[in-house]
Structures are given as structure tokens and as C-alpha cells.
């Protein structure tokens, strides 16, 4: 779908409340489920009139702009037979698009099993659940995901579903009983933030959680139950360039549990400062197919410390570890010889970790800052980092952000950006393992010595399995304030 941005009138803007979220209306959408009937397979042509909604999308913007969905000639619309529980081979494309772009005829050739009375689901801008042949995967498990957005309008995930009933398919031409009326399966949100002194926050990263766990980050519309369709989680976004301007996100909510909900925000600014705050849902809870925004920025409070999201897999007695008085998580294995395994994500400000045994740490879009003279991770044995998504660790008052007394190894698919203080004696490239990745021989570029300022392949030193994983260290960035930054890119093949 193409999104066009227009300016709202002053009267429209004035109608939006400044203390809570406001949304335009739309109908609730419920995915239809297959019944398992059968019929002979056919190849047929299909032409069906289709529309995009108008009321809810006329104000799909935040306090000053509006986004409008329109059909585009080249886009593919996949068709699922909900009665038979099967995806058709082939797709439809828009033709005879109306002047406003909201109406068209969807035409194309499809292969599949069909009977009069079958219920069809049409997926617009949702190719991730449809574009693999049905015999290669369990279709109920295919995901429509909201995790790849970057806060800009161009990255908004904007899927829509329409239903139609088969009327006739004589002469291998399929007709339906009514127009396919597409409805969005998520809502559009726009955020802007200010601090307690009403100064704009220059946001670098943002994390949003729901008090009732009503946010859906993975949607499986063809799954057999509501709970299976809606996979709950948080929303995290890292901005390519910090901004005080609007941040846009498409968010799906679980309407069954959204009533009385509250959103919590953790924002990190360009200098690594954290801010926290909450915002109540409107009466009745958040709904899909709407557009939520505030006419004034949401006020957040500067936080001295923010704890990350931690999943404790294998630690002392299998239970969570609480930080000590120095705000450090001291983590030991259940037994002296057992490994430690934890997952860390979200925003971490002012906390550090000590691992007493071999540790596997799963990083998932973590943004961590430490303002004292200390590493974020310190391991007394081996550390294995499983890196997923975009992660960053900043220790501006210390010369290394992650340190293993023995081996430090990397795996996964993602990036790890580290910022550390320049040190006269310990000139490492942000991370180190004393056995495999250290600065003991500065004359060899393969060693971890930050006078090597160009990009370097460090797979032999850092990859957990060099046969499958590559690790590239970026060129050194001199930040001009006594700190250096490197990005480690990790790619693991199946």
C-alpha cells in the first residue's frame, strides 16, 4: 500500500484530546477458520471489486498529518480458502483503480480447490504469510510480524484482510457475492516525548510494553485459535538518527485483553540517558484499525537506572537473580560445573553483570549504558554471546564493555555496537577474551588492538563455529570525546 501524507485542518487537530490517546473508528476483524471440506482442484480466473476503508484512514496520522491507503498496480494479493484450509497458488493484482486509489478490481489466475459457498480471505500487503507454496510449510504457523520498523512512516507495517464468499465459478471464472472490503489488522500510532521540564527528548531508542500484555508483535491469522494467532510481546525500535520529532509505529493489539490497559515507555536519548513514563488506553481499550496520537508530547521522567528484560534459564537454583547494592547482577550456575544461560533485551541503564561460570548470553535488541568505570558483562570463565537484532553496549568510562577471563565467542545473526573509553594501557576494540581475543601482540592486526582502525574479519578469533559463522569488526570510529566505537556484525548460516 502506498501511504500519502497530508495536513489535517485546525478543527480536526483541535478535536484531539491532549491527555490521552484518540482514535478514529473501524470495524473489528476476526480471522475465519477452515472446516476441512474437499473438492476437485481447478485453475480459474478471478475478478472481484475491492475497497479500502475511508473513515478510519482519513485521519491515520498524529496531530497534523494523515496517511491514506491506496491500491497500487504492482502489488500482490494472495487468496486463502478458509473453508478448505488451503492457500491458492497464484495471486491477484489491482486493475481499474479509482481516482482516489481506494477502489479497484482485483484480477488474476489462481490454482486450487473451490466450491460455491466457500469463504475466502484476501491478504493485502501481507506477503510474509502467503508467498511460500503450501506444501513446504505449516501454513498456520506463518507469521506477520511487526518487529522490523524503524520509527519512520515508510517502515510502517500496514496489512489488511478482506473476506468474500464464492458465488459461482462456471467456465472457470470465479465470482463472489459481494465486494472485498479490506480492513487493517493493526493500528497506527504516533509518539513524541518531552522530559519533566517540557524539553523535547532526542530519542535514540524506544521500548513500549503493555500492562495487560496486550501488544502483539507476531500475528498468525491462519492459526486455529485466537491465542495462537496473537503472539504477545513488547515493541522496540532503534532509530537510525536520534529525533525529537514524531516516531511512527504500526502496533497490533489483542482486543480481548486491552480494556483497562496502560502503555509504559522507556526512551533512551542520544546521550544515553533513560526516561520512563506511562499512558492509559482510551475507554474500552486499544482497538485495531484505528489511529492513535496525542496533540502534545508525552511527558517522561528521567531515570537514574533502568533494568533490562531478563529471562533466567540456567542460574542459581533456576531462579531470578536480584542486583546487589552496586547494581550488579552476580550470577552463578546451579552447580560449580554447570553453565549459565540467560537472555537479555530491552533497555539497561546503570546495571552490570558478573558471571561466575561459563555463560551463554542471548542478546535481543539490547541497548545498554554504564556510566561508572566498569564493564557491562564480566565473565570469570568463557562467555558466548548469541547476538540477535541490533544491540549496543556503551561504557564511556571504561576501556572494555564485555570481558571474559577465558574465551569470548560470538554466534547468531545481528550486530553488537560497543563504545568504550580510550585507555593508555588497555587498547582493546571494545570487547575481549583473554584466551582468544586480546591485545597481547599489537604488531599483528588479527589481535584485538585498537590502533588497527580499518574494518577487519575477526572470524577466526571470535566465531563460535567458524564453519558457519562470520564475524566482522567495523572500522574504528573516533567520537572526538575520548571514546571509540566499533560494530561487530555476526552472520550465522543454517
pLDDT higher for 378 or 323? 378
Instruction: Check residue 290 and give its pLDDT.
Output: 86
pLDDT for 393-416, tens place per residue? 999 888 999 999 999 999 999 999
pLDDT for 226-261, tens place per residue? 998 999 998 989 898 999 999 999 999 999 999 999
> What are the DSSP calls for 97-144, one per residue?
--TTSSEEEEEEEEEEE--TT-EEEEEES-GGGTSS-GGGS-GGG--E
pLDDT higher for 35 or 158? 158
Query: Does residue 170 sit in helix, strand or coil?
Result: helix
Which secondary-structure segment (H or E) carries 11? Answer: helix 10-14
pLDDT higher for 199 or 142? 199
Kindly state the DSSP code that residue 450 receives in the 8-state scheme.
T
User: Residue 136: pLDDT band by 50, 70, 90 thresholds?
Assistant: very low
Question: At residue 86, does pLDDT exceed 80?
Answer: yes
Rounded to an integer, what distance in angstroms lies between the CA atom of residue 77 and that of residue 94?
8
> Where exactly are the structural domains of the chain?
2-187, 189-299, 309-492
> How large is the average pLDDT for residues 437-465?
77
Question: At residue 429, does pLDDT exceed 50?
Answer: yes
Instruction: Check residue 129 and give its pLDDT.
Output: 58
Q: Which of 226, 302, 223 is nearest to 265 (CA)?
A: 302
Mean pLDDT rounded to a whole number for the chain? 82
Instruction: Check residue 18 and give its pLDDT.
Output: 31
Instruction: Check residue 458 and give its pLDDT.
Output: 92
> How large is the average pLDDT for residues 40-57?
78
pLDDT for 110-132, tens place per residue? 999 888 899 999 998 887 656 55
**Does the model's pTM come out above 0.75?**
no
Instruction: Check residue 98 and give its pLDDT.
Output: 92
Q: Provide the 10 A C-beta neighbour count for residue 337.
A: 8
Question: At residue 326, does pLDDT exceed 90?
Answer: no
Residue 45 near residue 105, CB atoms below 8 Å: no
> How large is the average pLDDT for residues 50-76?
61
**Segment among 32-41, 326-335, 369-378, 426-435 with least mean pLDDT:** 32-41
> How large is the average pLDDT for residues 268-297?
88
**Segment among 147-156, 273-282, 425-434 with least mean pLDDT:** 425-434
Fold of 189-299: Immunoglobulin-like (2.60.40)
Amino acid at each position: 500500500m502506498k501511504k500519502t501524507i497530508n495536513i489535517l485542518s485546525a478543527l480536526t487537530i483541535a478535536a484531539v484530546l491532549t491527555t490521552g490517546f484518540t482514535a478514529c473508528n473501524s470495524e473489528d476483524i476476526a480471522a475465519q477458520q477452515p472446516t476441512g471440506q474437499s473438492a476437485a482442484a481447478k485453475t480459474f480466473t478471478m475478478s472481484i471489486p475491492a475497497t479500502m476503508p475511508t473513515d478510519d484512514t482519513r485521519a491515520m496520522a498524529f496531530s497534523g498529518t494523515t496517511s491514506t491507503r491506496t491500491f497500487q498496480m504492482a502489488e500482490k494479493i494472495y487468496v486463502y480458502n478458509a473453508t478448505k484450509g488451503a492457500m491458492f497458488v497464484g495471486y491477484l493484482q489491482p486493475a481499474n483503480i479509482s481516482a482516489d486509489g481506494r477502489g479497484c478490481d482485483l484480477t488474476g489466475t489462481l490454482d486450487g480447490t473451490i466450491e460455491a459457498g466457500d469463504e475466502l480471505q484476501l491478504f493485502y500487503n501481507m506477503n510474509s504469510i502467503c508467498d511460500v507454496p503450501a506444501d513446504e510449510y505449516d501454513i498456520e504457523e506463518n507469521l506477520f510480524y511487526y518487529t522490523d520498523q524503524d520509527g519512520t512512516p515508510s517502515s510502517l507495517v500496514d496489512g489488511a484482510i478482506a473476506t468474500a464468499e464464492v458465488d459461482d465459478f462456471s467456465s472457470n471464472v470465479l465470482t463472489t457475492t459481494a465486494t472485498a472490503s479490506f480492513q487493517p489488522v493493526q493500528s497506527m500510532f504516533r509518539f513524541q516525548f518531552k522530559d519533566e521540564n517540557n524539553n523535547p527528548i532526542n530519542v535514540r531508542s524506544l521500548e513500549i510494553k503493555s500492562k495487560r500484555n496486550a501488544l502483539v508483535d507476531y500475528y498468525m491469522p491462519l492459526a486455529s485459535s485466537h491465542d495462537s494467532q496473537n503472539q504477545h510481546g513488547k515493541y522496540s525500535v532503534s532509530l537510525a538518527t536520534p529525533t525529537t520529532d514524531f516516531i511512527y509505529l504500526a502496533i497490533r493489539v489483542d482486543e480481548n485483553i486491552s480494556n483497562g490497559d496502560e502503555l509504559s515507555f522507556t526512551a533512551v536519548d542520544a546521550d544515553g540517558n533513560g526516561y520512563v513514563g506511562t499512558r492509559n488506553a482510551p475507554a474500552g481499550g486499544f482497538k485495531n484499525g484505528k489511529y492513535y496520537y496525542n496533540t502534545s508530547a508525552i511527558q517522561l521522567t528521567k531515570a537514574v537506572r533502568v533494568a533490562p528484560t531478563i529471562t533466567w534459564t540456567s542460574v542459581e537454583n533456576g531462579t531470578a537473580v536480584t542486583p546487589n547494592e552496586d547494581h550488579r547482577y552476580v550470577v552463578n550456575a546451579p552447580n560449580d560445573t554447570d553453565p549459565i544461560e540467560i537472555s537479555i533485551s530491552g533497555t539497561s541503564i546503570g546495571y552490570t553483570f558478573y558471571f561466575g561460570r561459563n555463560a551463554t548470553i542471548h542478546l535481543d535488541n539490547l541497548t545498554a549504558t554504564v556510566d561508572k568505570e566498569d564493564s557491562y558483562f564480566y565473565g570469570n570463565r568463557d562467555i558466548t554471546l548469541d547476538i540477535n537484532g541490533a544491540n549496543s553496549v556503551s561504557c564511556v568510562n571504561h576501556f572494555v564493555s564485555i570481558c571474559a577471563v577465558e574465551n569470548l565467542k560470538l554466534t547468531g545473526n545481528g550486530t553488537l555496537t560497543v563504545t568504550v573509553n580510550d585507555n593508555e594501557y588497555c587498547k582493546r576494540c571494545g570487547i575481549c577474551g583473554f584466551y582468544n581475543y586480546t591485545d597481547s601482540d599489537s604488531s599483528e592486526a588479527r589481535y584485538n588492538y585498537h590502533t588497527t582502525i580499518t574494518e577487519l574479519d575477526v572470524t577466526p578469533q571470535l566465531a563460535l563455529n567458524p564453519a558457519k559463522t562470520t564475524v566482522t569488526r567495523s572500522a574504528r570510529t573516533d567520537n572526538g570525546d575520548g571514546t571509540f566505537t566499533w560494530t561487530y556484525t555476526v552472520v550465522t548460516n543454517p
